[in-house]
Structure 1
C-alpha cells in the first residue's frame, strides 16, 4: 500500500530490497543514477499521495511494459466507482530547467539529452495499458500524470506550452501543485485519484498475472494503418510472394503445425514491404498475436515512424532477448534476419541460442533473409542453417525466393554487374547498362557537388563509406569531421572532410540540421554527414555515393582485404581471408541503396584506376543532375 511505502521509503533497507528485486526481475542491476532518482523522487511522491488521503491505494514501482522494454516509474492502482480496476500512470521528473522548441513539441532537452516530452511519454504508457492488458477478463481504466516535484510554475508553463497534439489530456504537476490546498480532496483530484477506492486483492492479482498481448482493437487499428499506407504498396511479384507466404502461414495454422518460412531476396526485392503488409493481414485475423521484429534499430524506428504509435509493441527490435508476449500461437516476422545476433560466433558452434529460442517459441516464424548482407562475424544465419534447425526441431519448412527487384531503378543489369564486380576474384566486366545512372567519380569535390545538386532539387542523396576512419566524435552534435580524404588532381592537391552521422537516437534540439542516427537516410541535413554500413543497411535514397576505403583494394584480378585498415571493432584480430567476405558484402550493401543513381570512388589509387576501366566518367558539367 502507499502508506506502507511512505513509512519505509527513506530506510536504506527498503532501497536495497528494491535493488535486489530489480536485478532479479530484469536480469541486470539498476544504475547508480537510477537508485539516486528513487531516493529523491519516491519519498516526495509518497508524501504527496498520503497528503491526498490515498494511503490505502496500491502502488507499483518500476512497473514493466514487456512488449516495449520500458518501465513506468509508479503506477497507482485502485477501484473506480463502477467496479473496474483503475490505474494511474505517474512519470516522475526531478527537472528544474528544460529546453523545448516550438518546432519539435513532442521533445525536450535535459542537459545533453534529447528526450520525449513527459506528457507524450505518459500518453504512450496509458495507451499501452489499454492496448495490451485491458480485455474482457480485465476491464481496465487507465489515466496518467507527470509529477515534477522540484519544478516551479515557470517550468510547468513552459512544458505545457510544448505539449504535442494528443498529449494535452495528461496533466503536468509542479512543486506548487503538490500541496493539499485548498483541500486534500483537491490534491487527489489533481493526481487523478479522487474517485478511487482500494481494489480487492483478487483484482490486483489478476492485473499482475495478466498476459501482455495486443488487444483486438490495437490489431484492427494497426491493420487499417498498414492497409491504407502507400509506403507499403506491393507491385507485381511482391504481391505474388505475399500471397505465397500468406498461404504457407494459413496452412500451418489450419494444420496446427509449427513451421519456419524463409523468404530470400536481394536488395530491393521488397522483403520489408512484404513483411509489413503481412503484419497488416495478420492484424485483421481473429485471435492473432503477431510481431514484426528486426535486429536493426534503425529500420525498427523508421517502420514505427511510418506506421505511427499504432505499432507500439507490435514492431520492435530483436537483439539478445525474446520479446515478451511471443507465445505458442504467435506468428513472428523477422525482417533482416541476416543481421540477427549470433554471439559469440555460431560458425564455431551450434545454432544461435536466442534466435533458436525465438523460432521454437512461435507457432510460425517467417524470416526475410539475404545472406550477402551478412556484414560482421557476430551476425548472420544462412538458409541451410535455418532449414536444418527446422528439421532438428520438427518444424515444417518452406522457402520462397524473390527475384524481381524494384530498387536501383529496377535495373537487373546493375545488380548483376555489382554482384560480378564484388566477386572475390576473376575479371570484372565494364558496365554496359543504360537503365541506371552509374559512374566512377574523380574526387570528393565532384561527388559533394553531385549530392548537393540533387538535394537542392528536392531529391534524397547520401554519402556512405567503409569504416576506414576513426569514429571518436561525441554522440551528439557538434560532430568532428573524422572522414578525411586527401588527393591530387589536375588542379592540385585537395583535402575533404566530413563527420560520420550522429550516434544519438533522436535529433538534437540545438542541431536540427543533424538527424539522429535512425533518420540519417531520410531526414533533411543527412547529406552533410557520412553514413556507414550500420546506418545505411535496410535504408534507401535516390542518389548514392560510395567511398571504398583502404580496407578493400583491387590487385590484379582479385580483391584484397586489409582488416588492419578498418576502424570497426567487430573485426579486431580477424584474418584477411575471413574479413574479405564481410568487406565485399558491406560494399555491396552500400552500393545498392540508391534507387536512381550511384557514384563509386576509391581512396586507393590502384582501385580507383580499376574503377575507371569499368565505368563511365562522371559528367562534371555544373548542370548535370
Structure 2
C-alpha cells in the first residue's frame, strides 16, 4: 500500500448527505471528524460486519478520492479485500470489537497513510494508538536493517522501521494541550508462517519494540491474541475520548522543529553570502512583523495584514539555498506559525526529504505540491520554491492553489525564475503575484538575487548562456575559470563522465526530451531499455557507430540477489550511486546541481539562418508536440538554459545537429 499522496481535504459526507458511514442501523460506524482523512472509521465490530458487503468497498473507494488521496488503483482495492478480513477476524476473536479503528488513516502533511490505526484506552486512562502495517507477503530477503527485497524483486523499507516512522510522527507531532498518548505498532503478515515472520522480525536489528504477527498466529488460539496485537491491556474508548482524538490538530513539536531547523540552518550546503544574506535579513524583518514569535506565540512586532514576498533570480543565484535556510529559521524563531516548505518539483522535494531522513517525522514539513491548498489552511508561514512550475488556472491565469495561499497565509515567500517555465500549463510571474496580493490588501515585497554561486561563481558563464539562447551568441573567452568545451560525439561525452566519476566527482549527462522513455517497472530487472540512440558518422580513424543510452529509471533498480543499487529512482538520479550511467532530463535536473555537466542538445532545437528554430515534432513530451514551432521555441530555450547551468565547475556540450555544432565550434575554443 502506498505512502505518499496529496494532502487530504475535508471529508465528504456519505450518500444522501448522511453524517454516517455505512449502514444507518450501525450508529458506531461514524463519519470521523472533518479533519480526519481516512476511508472508514468506527468500532472494530461494526467495520468487521461491513466487510461482508461489496458496497462497503465502493464507499471506501469514494472516500479515498474525497480525502484527496488520489484514485485507488486495482492493486490498492485488491489489497483491502485481501488484508482487511483476516485482520478484523483476528481483532474480533481477540475480544477487541469495541476499539475504535481508522482504515487508510492519512497524516496532515501528505507523507504518510497508515493501513490501519486502532485507538483504545490504557490502564491509566491514557489514549493508546496502535499503528497496524498490513503486508500480503510470505517471504522476503533481508538486505540490511532498513531494507528488504520482496519475492517479486521490489526493494522496500523494512516494515518494522516503516511502522517506527509512523510511531515517530505521532510522538513528534502532538501539539501541547492535546490528550496524552501512548503509541504502539505492529506488522501483520497475514499470509506468512510464524517461522517466516521470525526471519523478518530478526532482520530489523535491535529492539525496535514493534512485533511481527503472522497469519499462522492470527488463526491460532484466541488466548493471548490481543497481546500479540499490542492490545491486550486496552479498553474501549468512550465517545468523548474518540472525539478528543479526532479533534487533535497535528503540529510538529518545538523539539522536532528545533532539531530539523538546526540541521538545515547549519548545513554548509545552505550557507548564505552576498545578496542572499541581504534578502534573508529583509525576509526576517517581514516575518517579525507578521508572525508570532517563540513557543508561547508572542504577538508580532508589526502590522498583521499579511505579507507576500517574491524572490527571483537566475540559475545558481541561490534561491533554493535561501528558501531552505529560511525554513530552518522560521522553525526555530516562529514555531507557532507552523512553517512549511512546498515545491512543485518532485525531484527537489525528494532531495530535501533525503537530506532530513535522519528525522523520521520531518517529511511532513515538506508537503507534496498537491497539498498546497490544504497546507494554506494549516500554516502561518509558507515557503514555495520553483513556483514557476505551478499549474496555471485555465480561467484566471494565476494558479488557483497559489491564489488561496495569497489570501490565507500570513507570510508567503515565493521563489521563482520566469525563464525556467518549461510547459504551457505552468508558469506564474512576479507581476501576476503582485497584482493579486494588492487586490487582496496584502503587502508585497520583491527581492532579486543577482549573484551566481554555481558555475564556479561565474556570472559570466550564465550571461554567456543567456546571450546564446535569448540574444546574440558571443564567443566564450574562458577567462573566468569556468571550464566549457564541446564534445564531438556522445561516446566522447560518456568517456568524460565516466572518468570524472572515477575521480570522485558528481558527473551527470542530461538531454532534451527527444527520445522515447520506456517507464519500465519490471521487478528484479538489472538493465534499463536503451531508448536514446544517436548515430555517429564515420571519422578519419573510426567507423560509423550508434550510441545508445538509458534514461533515468522510473523506479530504483537493484541487483536481484544482493540488493546492490544499480540505478537510482529518477528523482534521485543527480546524486545517488549509479546515476552517471543514465541520462537525465529537464524534470530530473531542474533545481539541482552537480560538479560536471554533460548536455546533449537534441533535434528539437537547431541554429538555422542566424537564429534558433524549434521543431516540436521531435519532442517526446505529449503536452508539447502539438505546439507550433513559434509556441514551442520559448519552452525549448528555457529547457536548455536549465540543462546548461547545472554544472558547478564544468560543462561539456554535444549537439545532434551539424549546423548547431558548427555555431558552437565558432564560439567555444577547442579544449
TM bucket, shorter chain: over 0.9
Q: 1:246 to 1:47 in 2, by over 3 A?
A: same
Match of 1:327 in 2: 377
Paired with 1:8 and 1:473, the residues of 2 have a C-alpha distance of 38
What TM-score results when the alignment is normalised by the length of structure 2? 0.86
Residue 431 of structure 1: how far off its partner (Å): 3.6
- Does structure 1 conserve the Cα–Cα contact (< 8 Å) formed by 2:147 and 2:157? yes
Residue 412 of structure 1: how far off its partner (Å): 1.3
Residue 434 of structure 1: how far off its partner (Å): 3.6
Which sits farther off after the overlay, 14-23 or 485-494?
14-23
Match of 1:58 in 2: 100
1:459 aligned counterpart, secondary structure: coil
Give RMSD over aligned pairs. Answer: 2.2
Q: 1:212 to 1:286 in 2, by over 3 A?
A: closer
Match of 1:361 in 2: 408
- Does structure 1 conserve the Cα–Cα contact (< 8 Å) formed by 2:373 and 2:401? no
Residue 187 of structure 1: how far off its partner (Å): 2.1
- Does structure 2 conserve the Cα–Cα contact (< 8 Å) formed by 1:426 and 1:558? no
What TM-score results when the alignment is normalised by the length of structure 1? 0.92
**Matching residue within 315, 318, 332 for 1:270:** 318
Match of 1:472 in 2: 518
Residue 612 of structure 1: how far off its partner (Å): 0.3
Map 1:21-60 onto structure 2 (within 5 A).
21-26=63-68, 29-60=71-102
- Does structure 2 conserve the Cα–Cα contact (< 8 Å) formed by 1:91 and 1:145? yes
Paired with 2:57 and 2:361, the residues of 1 have a C-alpha distance of 36
Map 1:199-598 onto structure 2 (within 5 A).
199-253=237-291, 254=300, 255-284=303-332, 285-308=334-357, 309-319=360-370, 321-322=371-372, 324-327=374-377, 330-342=380-392, 344=394, 349-423=396-470, 426-475=472-521, 477=525, 478-488=527-537, 489-491=539-541, 492-504=543-555, 506-508=556-558, 510=560, 512-598=565-651
Q: 1:110 to 1:616 in 2, by over 3 A?
A: farther
In structure 2, stretches of 5+ residues that fail to align are 1-42, 292-299
Match of 1:72 in 2: 114
Q: 1:530 to 1:427 in 2, by over 3 A?
A: closer
Match of 2:24 in 1: none
Paired with 2:434 and 2:402, the residues of 1 have a C-alpha distance of 14
- Does structure 1 conserve the Cα–Cα contact (< 8 Å) formed by 2:127 and 2:180? yes
- Does structure 1 conserve the Cα–Cα contact (< 8 Å) formed by 2:598 and 2:652? yes
- Does structure 1 conserve the Cα–Cα contact (< 8 Å) formed by 2:175 and 2:250? no
Which sits farther off after the overlay, 213-222 or 294-303?
213-222
Residue 154 of structure 1: how far off its partner (Å): 4.0
Which digits, 9 at most, give the CA deviation of each residue in 1:81-128, with x for residues without a partner?
2222111011111112334423x7334435254432211221222222
**Matching residue within 189, 201, 205 for 1:160:** 201
Q: 1:16 to 1:532 in 2, by over 3 A?
A: closer
**Matching residue within 191, 210, 218 for 1:170:** 210
Paired with 1:358 and 1:100, the residues of 2 have a C-alpha distance of 45
Residue 572 of structure 1: how far off its partner (Å): 2.5
- Does structure 2 conserve the Cα–Cα contact (< 8 Å) formed by 1:409 and 1:436? yes
Paired with 1:114 and 1:393, the residues of 2 have a C-alpha distance of 49
Paired with 2:82 and 2:180, the residues of 1 have a C-alpha distance of 34
Residue 29 of structure 1: how far off its partner (Å): 4.9
Q: 1:26 to 1:599 in 2, by over 3 A?
A: closer
Match of 2:163 in 1: 122
Paired with 2:446 and 2:313, the residues of 1 have a C-alpha distance of 11
1:218 aligned counterpart, secondary structure: helix
**Matching residue within 190, 194, 198 for 1:149:** 190
**Matching residue within 652, 655, 658 for 1:605:** 658
Paired with 1:256 and 1:546, the residues of 2 have a C-alpha distance of 48
2:146 aligned counterpart, secondary structure: coil
1:316 aligned counterpart, secondary structure: coil
Which sits farther off after the overlay, 544-553 or 59-68?
59-68
Residue 608 of structure 1: how far off its partner (Å): 0.3
Q: 1:554 to 1:481 in 2, by over 3 A?
A: same
Paired with 1:187 and 1:290, the residues of 2 have a C-alpha distance of 43
Which digits, 9 at most, give the CA deviation of each residue in 1:375-405, with x for residues without a partner?
1111111111111111122211001111111
Match of 1:197 in 2: 235
1:322 aligned counterpart, secondary structure: helix
Paired with 1:323 and 1:343, the residues of 2 have a C-alpha distance of 14
Which digits, 9 at most, give the CA deviation of each residue in 1:29-70, with x for residues without a partner?
533332322222222111211222222211112212131253
Deviating above 4 A after TM superposition, structure 1's stretches of 4 or more consecutive aligned residues are none
Q: 1:110 to 1:421 in 2, by over 3 A?
A: farther
Number of aligned positions between the proteins? 608
Paired with 2:519 and 2:101, the residues of 1 have a C-alpha distance of 43
Residue 185 (structure 2) pairs with residue 136 (structure 1): no
Residue 585 of structure 1: how far off its partner (Å): 0.7
Which sits farther off after the overlay, 306-315 or 4-13?
4-13
Which sits farther off after the overlay, 550-559 or 7-16?
7-16
- Does structure 1 conserve the Cα–Cα contact (< 8 Å) formed by 2:147 and 2:155? no
Match of 2:225 in 1: 187
- Does structure 2 conserve the Cα–Cα contact (< 8 Å) formed by 1:414 and 1:433? no
Match of 1:89 in 2: 131
- Does structure 2 conserve the Cα–Cα contact (< 8 Å) formed by 1:109 and 1:509? no
Residue 358 of structure 1: how far off its partner (Å): 2.8
Q: 1:422 to 1:408 in 2, by over 3 A?
A: same
